[in-house]
């Protein structure tokens, strides 16, 4: 039977710490990650006020005229900070596919509260901890986004604890690989479509995410997210009130030796009759390991019958290959 919707998992029993609740949540997450790599969470304890303020601030930025956005344009493809204008990224290229540019604009932000020191400043750190580039408008943009980044980092760490339990590992197994992480926050606008897209052109081309997991909130405008089931068909990803969309990234697939799937997903165009009124916004947190974290198959995910499929690599090497392919 085909999957028609994404599983919804209440993570409150894990966060509340009862042994039975923790095991139940871990089992549900494990099944979702094996089946499709996507699930919705509720009971996450993120205040609705925080969500609403972040979303409203993000939408306000994209309402500004282009001349107010360009002063924070991304300075180079090597510095993943600041504004990327409309059609400035081609996600499908990250998988080696030729495709037209994606129909979106966005801002990228990186770690906040970076303590400084040799780890963050040496050559190997590249620009992973480059200072963020903040817009002058709307008022309060910087503190709102910094607060949201911190809260998402906390939620992502909770989810990584669930992942560890689901994979028969100690809760804190991943933490020394994440304690200096290079996670990113991205806000995206998919504008109304006044012109027909080119053949094969989407709001967001089919791709997988680079890191451990992604935490997404978005509105209900037509032309939304779809995830590809292991069997090849596409499933609409529709979030309800108070839920987040979670998907795992490439690193969890590598760590689990393909037991879990880093799912291909895309953002489709709205129906033609709604295209000129279907403006869509998303706020996305990409959780990523430390740049020098060695990604090697987890001990619970290989044996003599299931040999390792991947050679060990650092997260930095994986990230750079994917990022550079997507930029114009």
- pLDDT tens digits for 26-67? 999 999 999 889 999 999 999 999 999 999 999 999 999 999
- pTM here is 0.92
pLDDT digits (tens, 9 = 90+) for 228-248: 887 888 988 888 888 999 999
Of the candidates 198, 66, 186, 64, the one whose C-alpha atom is nearest the C-alpha of residue 132 is 186
Domain definitions of the chain by residue range:
8-326
Which of 14-28, 126-140, 312-326 has the weakest average pLDDT? 312-326
CA-angle at 133, arms to 175 and 321, nearest 5°: 55
Kindly give, in sequence order, each residue whose CB lies less than 8 Å from that of residue 112, ignoring residues fewer than 6 positions away.
Answer: 132, 146, 149, 150
pLDDT band at 128 (very low <50, low <70, confident <90, very high): very high
pLDDT in tens, 253-307: 999 999 998 989 898 887 878 778 788 889 999 999 999 999 999 988 999 888 9
The DSSP code sequence of 3-68 is --S--EEE-HHHHHT-HHHHHHHHHHHHHHHHHTSEEEEE-----HHHHHHHHHHHHHHHTS-HHH
CB 123 within 8 A of CB 211: no
Burial class (CB within 10 angstroms; exposed 0-12, middle 13-18, buried 19+) of 288 = buried
The predicted structure's pLDDT at residue 278: 81
Q: Yes or no: say if 21 and 162 are a contact pair by the CB < 8 Å rule.
A: no
Homologous superfamily, domain 8-326: B-lactam Antibiotic, Isopenicillin N Synthase; Chain (2.60.120.330)
Sheet of strand 213-218: strand arrangement: 8-10, 38-42, 244-248, 213-218, 280-287, 184-190, 105-109, 82-84
Using a 10 angstrom Cβ sphere, with 0-12 exposed, 13-18 middle and 19 or more buried, the burial of residue 47 is exposed
Confidence (pLDDT) at 326 = 63
pLDDT of residue 115: 92
């Amino acid at each position: 039977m085909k999957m028609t919707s994404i599983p919804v998992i209440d993570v409150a029993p894990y966060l509340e710490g009862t042994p039975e609740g923790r095991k139940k949540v871990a089992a549900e997450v494990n099944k979702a990650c094996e089946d499709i790599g996507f699930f919705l969470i509720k009971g996450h304890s993120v205040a609705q006020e925080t969500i609403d303020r972040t979303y409203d601030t993000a939408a306000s930025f994209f309402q500004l005229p282009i001349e107010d956005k360009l002063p924070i344009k991304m300075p180079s493809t090597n510095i993943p900070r600041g504004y990327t204008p409309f059609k400035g990224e081609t996600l499908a290229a990250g998988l080696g596919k030729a495709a037209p540019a994606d129909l979106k604009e966005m801002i990228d932000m990186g770690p906040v509260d970076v303590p400084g020191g040799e780890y963050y400043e040496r050559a190997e750190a590249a620009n992973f901890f480059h200072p963020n580039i903040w817009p002058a408008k709307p008022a309060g943009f910087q503190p709102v986004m910094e607060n949201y980044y911190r809260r998402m980092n906390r939620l992502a760490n909770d989810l990584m604890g669930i992942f560890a339990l689901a994979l028969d590992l100690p809760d804190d197994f991943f933490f020394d690989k994440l304690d200096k992480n290079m996670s990113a926050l991205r806000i995206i606008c998919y504008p109304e479509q006044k012109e027909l897209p080119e053949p094969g052109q989407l709001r967001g081309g089919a791709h997988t995410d680079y890191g451990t997991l992604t935490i997404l909130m978005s509105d209900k405008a037509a032309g939304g997210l779809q995830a590809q089931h292991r069997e090849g068909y596409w499933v609409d990803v529709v979030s309800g009130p108070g839920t987040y969309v979670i998907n795992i990234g490439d690193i969890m697939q590598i760590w689990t030796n393909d037991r879990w799937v880093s799912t291909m997903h895309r953002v489709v165009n709205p129906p033609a009759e709604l295209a000129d009124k279907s403006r869509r916004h998303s706020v996305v947190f990409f959780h990523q390991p430390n740049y020098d974290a060695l990604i090697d198959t987890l001990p619970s995910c290989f044996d003599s019958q299931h040999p390792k499929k991947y050679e060990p690599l650092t997260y930095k090497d994986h990230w750079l290959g994917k990022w550079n392919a997507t930029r114009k």
